[in-house]
Structure 1
Amino acid sequence: MTDQLFAEDAYLTSCEATVVDIRDEGVILDKTVFYARGGGQPGDTGTLRWEGGLARVKDTVKMGGDIVHQVEGDAPLVGHSVTAEIDWARRHRMMRTHTALHALSGVIFREHGAKVTGGNMDDTGSARMDFELDEMSQELGKEIEAKLNEELNKNRPVHVSFLPRAEALADPDLIRTKVSLIPEFVDPIRVIDIEGIDKQADGGTHVKSTGEVGHVTVVKTESKGKAFKRMRIQLEDSSPADHKSQ
């Protein structure tokens, strides 16, 4: 099982690791800073470097408890020590996007009591989120946009914690995402808490505070059916500052 360093510190941009397996799908390390595609967030890209070699990581996926680095060209051998480094600018943009989605979820839940039924993002700062909501309109989108940016501008801290599955699922105020979306094998459950606005189970990467997100625009609202509404958001091109691991 790969030690997922990003789960506790999303600001780690690189790590020293050992190749423990090579599969048709890619390279498995004993530990990694690469986030594997899942939960609506794309997998990280970057590089693996070792003595005499370099491989470009074009995608990262999960296979059971292992994280697989899909590489272009030659791969390191089992036992090789490598330096794994992510494309930080791309990752940080997705961290901002993911935190923006959680803040959006919190605003919608506070204003309308609606739970999230799905979501997705790309690596350009564009994302969408689906809600159990009866009504949706452009006017509502603009109203939510204003309230969302008001919350982001409060620079609320974002905390990461881990709770036993039974404890997490017994808390009705915690699970804003429908419980059925959380795989049964996930235990403990990782919790992302945006102080005062949103607290939910999540495995993705996030910024340390909402002020890092920057301005968010609701670019489209859609009705996909009864109690199935969608909002699409877009981040500004750059965040207020370029935050890296300290």
Structure 2
Amino acid sequence: MTNIFLREPKLYTNLTAVRRVSVVGTDAAVVLDQNIVRPEGGGQPRDHGSVTVGDQVFPIGQVVKSEGETWLRLSGAGSAPPEEGELVSVSVDRERRATLSKSHSLTHLMMAAGKKCLEDFDSKGAAIDEAGQIMTISFRTSSVVDDIAINMIDAVVRHLVAKDAPVTFTTVKSLEEGAKRFPRWRVDSTLGLSGKIRVVDIAGIDANPCSGSHVETTGEVGPYRMFHDLVLDGDIYRFSAERTRTWMYWFGEEALIGFDWDGLHTRPNRPEGTPPHVR
């Protein structure tokens, strides 16, 4: 089995052969030769979609990783499961994939802005809700994290969205190679990664080991609003953002006076007050 969604994130339909089949009650679970359906992982919910077997279309009820394989559970296919070697057509919900890609890229921008704005920033993962609308990041820092700090991060994220920077994928042989290769390398030290690693590189902004789906440029992330409901769990901070239909507020250019993203040690001003519609 090859998970081709890693290198073809915008491939939404694919004709492929069935490699393994298992009947589970009224359902059938299959492993495909080439898989375009992403399972849950890295804080990103799974893809939705369907598999067409002959003239029957079965919704994908679950996507499960087990013993190095990705199993697709086809709802209602237990009475007429596909055979090993049979060609089937797989379709991924394009709109959901696009939404999750925008949301996942936004979490990377939030982390990048946090690292830029806060001292000793240490990312501790991110999570996207099932609908792909609310993103939460977790991190440690020695800085004071208050409304002003969140405003500062928010202003920088908006700057990075407007920057419309390219988002690309590459592979490194190790964490050590990634740290040497990318000036803005960021990794959660608790993940225990080893061997070859897929890196999502937001040009000049952030480089992070990640198997998620992403946009092609940061401008595709689109509008959002950031919440100020900060949670402190031990020494781990968490706060969230929500995707919106339109931009609901702006800090003004003065929020970025003196801010140079390309300067590794410069930080933006701390904009006072909370913008409207945030709380």
Matched, 1:229 2:237: yes
TM-score, length of structure 2 as denominator length: 0.78
SS state of the match for residue 176, structure 1? coil
| Structure 1 residues 72 and 237: alpha-carbon distance in aligned structure 2, compared to 1, 3 A threshold | farther
Query: More deviation in 32-41 or 21-30?
Result: 21-30
Percent identity reads 23
**RMSD of aligned residue pairs (Cα, Å):** 2.1
Structure 2 residue matching 1:179: 3-state secondary structure: coil
Which structure has the bigger radius of gyration? 2
What secondary structure, in the 3-state scheme, does the structure 1 residue paired with 2:21 have? strand
String of CA shifts for 1:83-138, please: whole Å, max 9, x gaps.
Answer: 11101101110000000001111111112141211211023321101011243223
Report Cα offsets for 1:27-46 as digits up to 9, x if no partner. 11011111111111111110
Partner of 1:177: 187
Does 2:124 align with 1:114?
A: no
**Counterparts of 2:73 and 2:228 in 1: how far apart (Å)?**
34
Shift of 1:211: 0.6
Structure 2 CA distance, aligned partners of 1:226 and 1:41?
A: 24
List runs of 5+ in structure 1 lacking aligned partners.
240-246
Aligned to 1:4: 3
Partners of 1:46 and 1:56 within 8 A in 2 = yes
- Please tell me whether residue 168 in structure 1 is matched to residue 171 in structure 2: no
Counterpart of 1:72 (choices 60, 65, 75) is 75
**Secondary structure in 2 matching 1:203:** coil
Contact kept in structure 1, 2:136 and 2:240, CA below 8 Å: yes
Q: CA deviation at 1:161?
A: 0.4
Of structures 1 and 2, the one scoring higher in RCO (CA 8 A, sep 6+) is 1
Q: Deviations over 1:51-75 (max 9, x none)?
A: 1321101232222321111221114
**Residues 51-130 of structure 1: pairs in structure 2 closer than 5 A:** 51-74=54-77, 75-112=81-118, 113-122=120-129, 123-130=131-138
Please report how far the alpha carbon of residue 170 of structure 1 lies from its aligned counterpart in structure 2 after TM superposition: 5.0
Partner amino acid for 1:218? M
TM-score (normalizing by structure 1) = 0.88
Letter in 2 for 1:176: R
1:174–1:201 CA contact under 8 A, matched in 2 = no
**Between structures 1 and 2, the one with greater strand share:** 1
What is the correspondence of 1:32-47 to structure 2 with a 5 Å cutoff? 32-47=35-50
Distance verdict in 2 for CA 1:227–1:169, change over 3 Å = farther
| 1:179-198 paired onto structure 2 within 5 Å | 179-184=189-194, 187-198=195-206
CA distance in 2, matches of 1:233, 1:6: 26
SS where residue 27 of structure 1 aligns? strand
How far off its partner does 1:218 sit? 1.0
Structure 1 residue 226, shift from structure 2 partner:
4.8
Distance 1:182 1:84 in 2: 33
Question: Which one-letter code corresponds to 1:138 in the other structure?
Answer: D
The alignment partner of 2:163 has SS state of coil
Relative to structure 1, is the Cα distance of residues 97 and 68 closer, same or farther in structure 2, using a 3 angstrom cutoff?
same
3-state SS of paired residue (2:207): strand
Distance 1:160 1:206 in 2: 9
Unaligned runs of 5+ residues in structure 2 are: 248-279
Contact 2:170 2:200 in 1 (8 A): yes
